[in-house]
Amino acid sequence: MVYVKWGFWGLFWLLVAAFLHYTLPQHDIGRITDTYEKRVDPGDNALFWSNADTGEDITGTNRDVFFIQTFRTNDRPMIYRNEDTGWGWPPYFKFDTSNLQAEASDLISKKNAANPQWVIITHYGWRNEFLSIYPNAVSVKAASGPDQRIIPWFNIILLTVLAAFAWGVRVRWKRFRANRLDPRIAQWTGRDE
């Protein structure tokens, strides 16, 4: 029974960590090599695409999506989608897809350029080639170089608040259980004598 309990809690916290990793903003440094627009028809992976109710026809089965092609500092390619999140989840309230695409196009840089333009791409989500999942770019801005250090202050503060909340709930539950439930259970089972 102990293994089932620990297995349940392990799975629960693994799902919480995966949810937070997918949803919280992440920052990558890379070179933008191309921007383009492509018609997509989300299928089995529709869960990882933004909702189609951000000003588009929600009855349509396919839609045009902007993409940003980059190469990261380790010379590995990374492709980001550029979709509005609207009022849905995750709550980035992103409505400036066209503006972001123009900013990304303006920051295009080639590898053999004299001074390649490095950019910080803020995004959420994961990249999975097998499932055709792309992270969604939220913003791009020029970086001072490929080794610029980025401290994710928002993530640090939010995770600290969530950990404090979880700790507070646990402490109160243990106190409630020790003061209210355990005495009643002992009384009902006859172990309080």
Q: Write out pLDDT tens, residues 26-48.
A: 999 999 999 999 888 776 666 66
pLDDT interval class at 131 (50, 70, 90): confident
Q: What is the pLDDT of residue 59?
A: 61
**Cα separation of 187 and 32, whole Å?**
69
pLDDT for 10 beyond 60 = yes
> Per-residue pLDDT averaged across 58-75, rounded?
84
Q: What is the pLDDT of residue 88?
A: 81
For residues 100 and 140, the answer to whether their CB atoms sit within 8 Å is yes
Q: Give the closest residue to 25 by CA, choosing from 92, 73, 79, 119.
A: 92
Q: Which residue has the higher pLDDT, 99 or 56?
A: 99
Q: What is the pLDDT of residue 47?
A: 65
Q: Give the closest residue to 42 by CA, choosing from 23, 60, 57, 26.
A: 60
**Cα separation of 137 and 9, whole Å?**
32
**Cα separation of 100 and 52, whole Å?**
18
In this prediction, what percent of the chain has a pLDDT beyond 70?
89
Joined together, the tokens standing for residue 46 give 């529709």
pLDDT winner (highest mean) among 3-7, 107-111, 118-122:
118-122
Q: What is the pLDDT of residue 163?
A: 95
pLDDT winner (highest mean) among 53-57, 79-83, 92-96, 107-111:
79-83
> Per-residue pLDDT averaged across 156-172, rounded?
95
